Structure 1
Amino acid sequence: MIITHAEPHDVSKLLSFREEAAAWLRGLSSDQWSRPYPADKLLATIEAGTVFMLRDGHTTAGTITLTPEAEEGLWTQEELAEPSMFINKLTVAREYSGQDLGGRLLNWAGDRAHRAGAQWIRLDAWTTNERLQRYYLEHGFTYVRTVREGTAVNGGPRVSGWLAQRAARAADHGFTDYTPAPALLPHAA
């Protein structure tokens, strides 16, 4: 399997991934991702070069967003002073479930962040999705805190404020990475 940057034509695939994941989550009694994600915001992240696709031949098996930009209001100024990259929208197609592709994508993200000079990979998870929180803990993340106050970027209540991090480190993820080497973070050591 290969990792590539997402391209503008991937917007529809990414939106369908999100819908598929939301339907699966509803089956688990979770309201995560129940609100549609704006296509224009998704396109902006693709154009910024922060969305990556996991491809299995001509099939897209998964996606992850990895950015040096933190969502406003989640991390302290001290934490933001540490070189970090932030994971968002990790999704694996249901047909690929059970293969730990999500865990391997997390390893890929940690490896890429490490090569960019990051100390940490950080994420925020759905506050009420304890199963997802356990998943991240099982994949080496450490719980930091839960942020409930404030509002989400889209103006609604904050629902994704469970924060976790793990050290960015070199990792053997097993994917062939067709993306250019990451740019060094501005305050990387």
Structure 2
Amino acid sequence: MIITNATADDLSYLLAFRREAADWISRLGSDQWSRPYPADRLLKTIEQGTVFMLRDGERTAGTITLTPEAEEGLWTEGELAEPSLFVNKLTVSRDYAGQNWGGRLLDWAGDRAYRAGAKWVRLDAWTTNEPLQRYYLGQGFQHVRTVLHGGAVNGGPRVSGWLAQRQAREAEHGLTDRTASPRPMTA
């Protein structure tokens, strides 16, 4: 498997990929990703070079976003002072499910964070999606806390406030990395 940077040409595929994942998650009983993701926001993250594609020849097996920007209102000032990269929108095609590609993408993210000089790989997960939370714990992440308030609308309930982290480290992820070298973290 090869990991590459996403391009603008991947936008429509990524939006469809997310809808496919949302349908699957819905069948499991979660409302995670039930709202369509704005195409302009996704294109902006692609252009920033933070969206990556796991490719199997011409097929896409998965995607991950890895960014130095944290979701507002989740992490403390002290935590934000520590060099970290943040995982978002990790998705594996149902055709590749059960083969640990998500785990390998997380290992790749931890290795990339390490090479960039980050101390942590951090993420936030859907507050009510306990199977997803258990998945991340099984991948070596430690639960930091759950933020229940401070959502985007009038400080209301937050739907994605389960916070976890694991130390950035070198990893044998087994992926052929065709991405640009990570930018060094600044203190």
- Counterpart position of 2:121: 121
Check the 8 A contact 1:152/1:159 in 2, yes or no.
no
Give the Cα–Cα distance (whole angstroms) in 2 for the partners of residues 172 and 14 of structure 1.
26
TM-score by length of 1: 0.96
What amino acid is the match of 2:135? Y
Listed one character per residue, the Cα deviations across residues 121-158 of structure 1 (whole Å, up to 9, x for unaligned) are 000000000000000000000000001111138x9842
Structure-to-structure mapping, 1:1-189, within 5 angstroms: 1-152=1-152, 157-187=157-187
- Decide whether the 8 Å contact of 1:22 with 1:32 is kept in 2: yes
Which amino acid counterpart does residue 102 of structure 1 have in structure 2?
A: G
Contact 1:141 1:165 in 2 (8 A): yes
2:79 partner letter: E
144-153 or 72-81: bigger deviation: 144-153
Moved more, 162-171 or 21-30: 21-30
Moved over 3 A (4+): none
Quote the Cα distance in structure 2 between the aligned partners of 1:122 and 1:69.
11
User: Which stretch shifts more, 144-153 or 124-133?
Assistant: 144-153
**Distance in 1, Cα, partners of 2:59 & 2:8:** 16
**1:87-109 Cα shifts (integer Å, max 9, x gaps):** 00000001000100000000000
What is the rounded CA distance, in whole Å, between the counterparts of 1:45 and 1:145 in structure 2? 26
Q: Distance in 1 between matches of 2:168 and 2:100?
A: 19
- SS, match of residue 112 in structure 1: helix
CA contact under 8 A between 1:66 and 1:86: conserved in structure 2?
Answer: yes
User: What is the root-mean-square deviation of aligned Cα atoms in Å?
Assistant: 1.2
> Which blocks of at least 5 consecutive residues in structure 2 are unaligned?
none
Q: Normalising by the residue count of structure 2, what TM-score does the alignment of the two structures yield?
A: 0.97
Q: How far, CA to CA, are the matches of 1:41 and 1:55 in structure 2?
A: 22
Query: Residues of 1 paired with 2:34 and 2:158: CA distance?
Result: 14
Identical amino acids, percent of aligned pairs: 73
- Structure 1 CA distance for aligned equivalents of residues 16 and 95 of structure 2: 13
Report SS of the residue matched to 2:40.
helix
